[in-house]
Amino acid sequence: MNVEEALKKLDLNMCYQCGTCTGTCPVARVESAFNPRRLIDEARLYGVDHVLNKEELWFCTECFMCMEKCPQKVKITEIILALWEEAVKRGIKIPQKFVGLAKAVASTGISTGAYGGKGTALSGMILKKREKLGLPIPKIKQEVAKDIVESTGVLEILEGKSKEGGE
C-alpha cells in the first residue's frame, strides 16, 4: 500500500477543519509552528510531498489526544505515523531524538525519558504520578525489546538517516 492509499484509509478526507485537534494538542499549545489541523489540510490539498520535509512534522509526541477528541474520528496520530514512515522510506533525515528512543528501548524496555540518547528510565516524578493515578509502568522485557530493535535493524536505519545534533 502506498502512502496515499494509507492516508485515504485513515479518513483524511473526513476532516472538516474544525480545529479541535489543534485546540487539544499539547504540543500546539507551546509550539505555534505545529498545527495538526493544518498538516492534515496541506497533506490533503497539496499531497504528502508538501509536508514530508517540514521540520514540525516531527514535533508530534504521539499522545493520541487529538484522535480522542476529533468529531469526525479522523485518525490524526496514525496519519502522522504514516507520514513518518514514508519519510523514513524516502531517506528524509529525521531528528536525533529517535535514535535515543530506540537505544533506550533496547537497553531498558522503556522509551519514555530517552531524549538525549541516554536511555534513562522513567523519572521519579512520572513514576509517582502513575502510581497516584493507578497506572501500571509500561514496560516489556528488556531482552525482548533488544531483540526487536536488533532484528528490525531500526537503530541502523535511524542512525543512518538522522540529523546530526538533532533537537
Cβ-based nearer residue to ligand SF4, 65 or 148: 65
Region label for 35, one of left (φ > 0), alpha (ψ between -120 and 50) or beta (otherwise): beta
Q: Residue 47 and residue 149: Cα distance in Å, rounded?
A: 31
Closer by beta carbon to ligand SF4, 34 or else 149:
34
The correct pick among 7, 15, 48, 101 for binding ligand SF4 (CB under 6 A) is 15
Which region among 32-40, 49-57, 137-145, 157-165 touches ligand SF4 (by CB under 6 A)?
32-40
- If one asks whether residue 18 binds ligand SF4 (CB under 6 A), the answer comes out as yes
The least distance separating ligand SF4 from the CB of residue 92, rounded to whole angstroms, comes to: 19
Q: Is 63 in the site for ligand SF4 (CB under 6 A)?
A: yes
Considering only 7, 48, 76, 99, the residue that binds ligand SF4 (CB under 6 A) is 76
For ligand SF4, the closer CB: 70 or 158 = 70
Instruction: Pick from 60, 99, 121, 154 the residue near ligand SF4 by CB under 6 A.
Output: 60
Q: Are 129 and 112 in contact (CB under 8 A)?
A: no
CB of 72 to ligand SF4, least distance (A): 4
Return residues touching ligand SF4 (CB under 6 A).
15-21, 24-25, 27, 36-37, 40, 60-66, 70-72, 74, 76-77
